[in-house]
Amino acid sequence: MKQLKVVQTFISRFLILILSFGLVIFSTNMWGSEGKGTISIVIANVAVVSFFSSIFSGSSTSYFARKFKIEQVLVYSYLWSVVTGVAVPLLFSFAGIQSDYLYDLIGISVLSSLLSTNINLFIGTQNIRLFNIYTVLQQLVHVLFIVFLIYIIKLKDVSVYFLAQILCLLFLLLTSLFFILKKCKSSEFSFSKDVFINMFEYGWKTQLSAFIQFLNYRLSFYFLEHFEGIAAVGIFSIGITFSEAIWTITRSIAVVLYSDVVNSESREDSIFRTKSSLKLSFTLMVVFVLGILVIPGFIYTQIFGEEFSETKKIMLLLSPGIFAIAVSDMIGYYFSGIKELRILNIKSIIGLLITVACSFLIIPKWGIFGACLVTTSSYIVSAGILFWKFYQSTDFKIKDYMISKDEINTLIKTFSKKS
């Protein structure tokens, strides 16, 4: 059954990977490096907002879905989503951050947080099928709305990207509510001090780590915009987009792992599952990184345009960090699932310190390539800390990373059954 979940989630993440690449290719050709830079900055700001809203709508929803009444969990998640989705963008606007796209930022922030609550509830209740469906639909429906607005309505401005995303999120929110609310009783919706305190305590700790780690992922955007301009952000963002698209594959394994760990009562079983996930993610990353290395540089130029001629070098510089984060994510989800959150904060803070210190020194001198070096260094150190902590409490064996023939055959059989 677990292998089936992994295969289902792997398939959904692979579809997301294809759709993500398609969306990146379309947006770069449609709006160029400056347009891609604008999209990257706005979406980065959406992600900042989401870290505040996810105190209740993120992993707290997953973790407490079976520990409290779903209705009580939803009350706080939905209310918090609306309040933070409006308040944080307004604070951005007052501070002069991306004020031109304020209403887009509010719309995307509120709707994505509400939808995130529903999707995380699917994880917490181990409804991996619906989780997979909605993660794929977020990309697919977004693409369909972009096509509709550009080719049917004849809108061409870069703001089309954000309008399409708002319409996509609204549509998916309404449909997912159908699955959520049909299992709820209106009389059970109520406020509970115990639920609030537990969700807030767990949520802010996990989100603190996630927010700091996000800064590791995105702070280079803001340094690049300051030192090199918005076009440089657009060019660099291609490499980051590729990284995160590749991570969707390994995080398909991590999501199933997290759901299993949260619902497991055995620490030994959780460690065994984590090591099994490490094997699979390590193997997949070897394949994908080798793929990055063998793709000729001119392919990127043909796909994205002449402005993106340095994409091959960017990917080469980022690939060690991509590999490190992808594999270490398994350990991060394990620690999150057993509520050992301190190590997540430590590794994120150290990574952030490296990012900030090196960005001031390296990016002004080497520009985009400097941003790549800073990002990779931060990724590798953060991942190394997680591995060190995990293997302090478990036995280290090389076979933790070598997938066996029996495991491959099991996955193939499961895949064949699913097909």
pLDDT tens, per residue, the chain with 419 residues: 445 555 566 666 667 777 877 787 788 888 887 887 788 788 888 888 887 888 888 777 877 777 778 788 888 889 999 999 999 899 888 876 656 788 999 999 999 999 988 888 887 777 777 887 888 888 899 999 999 999 999 888 888 999 999 999 999 999 998 888 877 777 777 788 888 888 888 888 777 767 777 777 677 777 888 888 877 877 887 777 777 777 777 777 777 777 777 777 788 888 888 887 888 788 888 887 788 778 887 887 887 777 777 888 888 888 898 888 888 888 888 887 887 878 888 888 898 899 888 888 898 888 888 888 998 998 899 899 999 998 887 877 776 667 666 655 655 554 454 44
- The answer to whether the beta carbons of residues 223 and 371 sit under 8 Å apart is yes
How many CB atoms sit inside 10 A of residue 308's CB? 21
Contacts of 198 (CB under 8 A, 6+ apart): 64, 67, 68
- Strand, coil or helix: 29: helix
Asked if residue 94 belongs to a domain, the reply is yes
Whether 418 is in a domain gets the answer: no
The domain of 83 spans 2-413
Q: What is the pLDDT of residue 299?
A: 81
Element (H, E) at 102: helix 102-124
Domain annotation covers residue 162: yes
Q: How high is the pLDDT of residue 415?
A: 44
* Residues written for the chain: 419
Tokens 């699932």 locate to 337
| 385 half-sphere exposure, CB direction, 13 A CA radius | 17
Round to whole Å and give the CA distance between 177 and 313.
44
Rounded CA gap, 240 and 326, in Å? Answer: 13
Determine phi and psi for 393, rounding to 5 degrees: -105, 0
**DSSP-based helix, strand, coil % in the chain, nearest 5:** 85, 0, 15
What whole-number distance in Å separates Cα of residue 122 and Cα of residue 129?
8
- Total tally of structural domains belonging to the chain: 1
Domain for residue 66, yes or no?
Answer: yes
CA distance linking residue 254 with residue 331, whole number of Å: 9
pLDDT of residue 419: 42
pLDDT of residue 418: 44
158 inside domain: yes
Q: CA 292, CA 286: separation in Å to the nearest integer?
A: 10
pLDDT at residue 410 in the model: 55
3-state secondary structure at position 199: helix
419 in a structural domain = no
- Distance spanning both ends of the chain, measured CA to CA: 15
161 assigned to some structural domain: yes
- The whole-number pLDDT of residue 417 equals 47
Is 308 inside a domain boundary? Answer: yes
Q: Which residue, chain included where needed, has tokens 């301009």?
A: 229
Per-residue pLDDT tens for 348-373? 889 889 988 888 889 888 888 888 89
Angle between helices 128-151 and 2-57 (to 10 degrees): 70
Three-state SS across 349-396?
HHHHHHHHHHHHHHHHHHHHHHHHHHHHHHHHHHHHHHHHHHCCCCCC
Give the residue carrying structure tokens 């919706």.
Answer: 189
Give the predicted TM-score (pTM) of the model: 0.67
d(CA 47, CA 240): 14
User: How confident is the model at residue 404, as a pLDDT?
Assistant: 65
